[in-house]
Amino acid sequence: MQLPNILKAPPFIQKLQWVADPVRFMEKGAQQYPDMFTARIIGFGDTVVFVNHPQAIQEILTNDRKKFVAIGDTNRIVEPLVGEYSIFLLEGNRHKQQRQLVMPAFHGERMRAYGQLMCSLCTKVFSKLSLNQPFLARKLTQDISLEVILKIVLGLNEGEKLQKLKHLLAQMLNLFQSPFTSSLFFFSFLQKDLGAWSPWGKFLRDRQQIDELLYAEIAERRQKPDPERIDILSMLMSATDETGQMMTNKELRDQLIALMLAGYETTAIATAWGLYWIHQKPLVREKLVAELDNLGDFPDPMSIYRLPYLTAICNEILRIHPPIMFCFPRVVQEPLELLGHPLQRGTVLLPSVYLTHQREDLYPDPKEFKPERFIESQFSPYEYLPFGGGVRRCIGEALAIFQMKLVLATVLSHYELGLVDRQIERPQRRGFTLAPSSGIKMVFRGRYLRQESLENTTSTSVF
């Protein structure tokens, strides 16, 4: 098969580099071949064409289901984590049906109702900090994001089940917090259950405990259906396919775990990066605090959401550090040309979000954090695509942006924080995401608003 711009390094070395340091691997490839290159990696088939030119990405994403198709099998690597019936592995009409079913939970009035919950959870988590106590920003944003997604997906507000699921989900993903442990997903020969103390054995036992809790919740809901509930599990349980069949327990489990893991990990990482950059750049922080001050003591969540500079900050966070490095892989359906390169049927294309966001011709000084670039310029969906695009665009996009804005605004309005040191934070593989390598070490220096204001925020809830 004829392939464009093939990297010269031996295939096994490429695979190791891709797993150990994907950022460096992609950047080195783009230095040799700026717009697209062919690599021998692992996870999406043996040979993949990385694409980062906006014109090529536009052609790929606007011809979904025609010349290029998102085939679930190219994502088979995530099956141990999310299961064979998850939205990541479904194709065609089944995938479309599941998206349409879940979409309302992430938009409109339903999403706006979550605004106060996000602010309240943020205040609850940050209010537990002690003066001058160091903490990891990613750990706190993870706590907030996980509780939000459990409320939306399962409708769990409080209680032992919520606490168990929070603990187990965080524990399971933390197993893959380094490139070394992440390699378990990429090299199947490492997936050996050698007991509870072995990494894969620990993963399997954590997953089993999570499954037991989810199946117990599903069984309880089937016995006592409540038509008033509006969480995603309730919607999925009441849905039927074209033959009138309801989803099986296994199908429900796989959809739930996929939505929970995808919905909280990426948002938590992006919010942590936000705290890092805002406190790394004093002028950015000063300008944001001034914008927030104009809203008064008790701003409406939608007023926060509409703030222009906060919006620019969140856009720049997701540009410089997109938690997901690439769009859903696409498979070429017929012989064609892309940027003048002939491609054969069956070629796997990986539109690279990270490399597109690092293009000098789109974003001058791409390593610099500059929110102003999103005020001064507008970018097309093929130049700026932190949530992917086409038929596989992330359904949780609106919720993620909403949560990022509200958490950052709540923290900056209520608390004075600082970075423990000025060391540059590097992105590192964490499972299938790019996360801050140290977790972002910060310190709590004090509160801004009067105590009764904080108590008011904490106690207010729409649920």
Domain assignments of the chain as residue spans, ordered by start: 11-459
- 126 vs 131: CA distance, rounded Å: 11
| DSSP secondary structure string for all residues of 201-253 | HHHHHHHHHHHHHHHHHHHHHHHS--TT--SHHHHHHH-B-TTSPBPPHHHHH
- 151 vs 145: CA distance, rounded Å: 10
Predicted pLDDT of residue 293:
92
Does residue 276 contact residue 427 with C-beta atoms inside 8 Å? no
Question: φ, ψ for residue 255 (rounded to 5)?
Answer: -65, -40
Q: What pairing do the DSSP bridges indicate for beta strands 48-51 and 348-351?
A: parallel
11-28 in b/e form (b: 16+ CB < 10 A) is: eeebbbbbbbbbbebbee
Predicted pLDDT of residue 28:
97
- 51 vs 57: CA distance, rounded Å: 7
Helix or strand (DSSP H, E) at 24:
helix 22-32
| DSSP secondary structure string for all residues of 331-369 | EE-S-EEETTEEE-TT-EEEEBHHHHHT-TTTSSSTTS-
For the chain, what is the total number of helices (H) and then of strands (E)?
A: 20, 12
As beta bridge partners, residue 194 has none
Q: Residue 307: CB partners within 8 Å, gap ≥ 6?
A: 291, 292, 295, 405, 409
- 151 vs 113: CA distance, rounded Å: 12
Question: Rg (Cα) of the chain, in Å, rounded?
Answer: 22
Which stretches of the chain score pLDDT less than 70? 1, 74, 105, 107-108, 449-463
Query: Would you give the DSSP letter of residue 130?
Result: P
Helix or strand (DSSP H, E) at 418:
strand 415-419
- Tell me which CATH homologous superfamily contains domain 11-459: Cytochrome P450 (1.10.630.10)
Sheet holding 415-419, edge to edge: 134-136, 441-447, 415-419
- 125 vs 141: CA distance, rounded Å: 9
- 193 vs 205: CA distance, rounded Å: 10
Predicted pLDDT of residue 452:
39
Predicted pLDDT of residue 105:
67
- 221 vs 189: CA distance, rounded Å: 39
- 126 vs 144: CA distance, rounded Å: 10
- 439 vs 288: CA distance, rounded Å: 23
Predicted pLDDT of residue 206:
93
Tokens 């791409």 -> residue: 366
Alpha helices per DSSP H over 239-331: 249-280, 282-293, 301-305, 308-320
**Per-residue pLDDT tens over the stretch 99-123:** 777 777 676 677 777 888 889 899 9
- 37 vs 349: CA distance, rounded Å: 10
Helix or strand (DSSP H, E) at 69:
strand 68-69
